[in-house]
Amino acid sequence: MAAFALVFLAPIGYSLYLSLFQEKLIGGTSFVGLDNYQQALDDPQFWTALRRVGLFLVVQVPIMLGIALLVALAIDSGRLYGRNFFRVAVFLPYAVPAVVATLMWGFMYGTRFGLVGDINDAFGVSLPDPLSADLVLASIANIVTWEFVGYNMLIFYSALRVVPHALYEAAEIDGAGQWRVITAIKIPAIRGALVIATIFSIIGSFQLFNEPSILKKLAPNAITTHFTPNIYTHSLAFSGQQHNYAATVAIVMGLLTMVIAYLVQLRGMRKEA
């Protein structure tokens, strides 16, 4: 419990404390109350970053969870050849570290010796560069989807497995088709798993860091130092040495993530009742 306090409560407390001060070149550190928070809310770079992960969240999360759900339903339906192979194969990318996943995709995106380059050569076309400023967010979304589809699929699948099969038989006797069984029995039965997966995906989107940070080396111009809120905090703390302000932004993002995750949970649970 002491260790728990050291690595969990202490950093939160310390950064709360930091966020209330400001370091000046002249006069040293002084107590400034909530000024840093005011600054964060007026900071256009912070808002750009926040809007970007917001967009990411709205587009990427439904696509990823949608694919995961469809695959889980397909595997659960028992209508596939080689069900176990499918389950394991789709899950495998989860075991790949974000660094390796990003490097792999980053190389494949490359127009020089990547797959995009191959397609261009083979068909004599020139696809837009996935690492350009316009497309890099979509490219990152693809990497994240690739990493976590299998994971979410497995969560849904585990939830589907514990649905009593007597329900399906009853539905069949009542003349319900496959589709009706899915919408009326399976989806409601795994609502809990859906809510949890959504919450974790939301957290993941808001805290997006690894993929853009690694891709930055392959696409230095497309990814700015305030690409996502976490990258912004990181560059504030390291390149900018603005520890107090970095702590503030980290707290704002942490709070925001928790509030939204909590709201989703409340909503998901209420529908259930």
CA distances for 192 relative to 30, 59, 75, 271, angstroms: 47, 22, 19, 11
In the chain, the amino acid numbered 69 is L
Give the per-residue contact string, 76-105, with other proteins (x = CB under 8 A; - = no).
-xxxxxx--xx-xxxxxxxxxxxxxx-xxx
Residue 61 as a binder of other proteins (CB under 8 A): the answer is no
Residue 257 as a binder of other proteins (CB under 8 A): the answer is yes
Cα angle, residue 262 at apex, residues 260 and 264 outer, rounded to 5° = 70
Report the site for other proteins in 124-183 (rule: CB under 8 A): 146, 149-151, 154-155, 158-159, 161-162, 165-166, 168-169, 172
Q: Residue 17 has which token pair? A: 């404390």
Instruction: Tell me the closest approach of the beta carbon of residue 44 to other proteins, in angstroms.
Output: 21
Among 34, 126, 180, 272, which residue interacts with other proteins (rule: CB under 8 A)?
272
Residue 250 as a binder of other proteins (CB under 8 A): the answer is yes
Closer residue to other proteins (CB): 25 or 162:
162
Closer residue to other proteins (CB): 135 or 268:
268
Q: Residue 222 has which token pair? A: 């497309």
Instruction: Tell me the closest approach of the beta carbon of residue 128 to other proteins, in angstroms.
Output: 18
Residue 226 as a binder of other proteins (CB under 8 A): the answer is no
Residue 189 as a binder of other proteins (CB under 8 A): the answer is yes
Q: Are 61 and 205 in contact (CB under 8 A)?
A: yes
Q: Residue 75 has which token pair? A: 């595997």
Instruction: Tell me the closest approach of the beta carbon of residue 17 to other proteins, in angstroms.
Output: 10
Q: Are 49 and 227 in contact (CB under 8 A)?
A: yes
Cβ neighbours, 10 Å, residue 55:
13
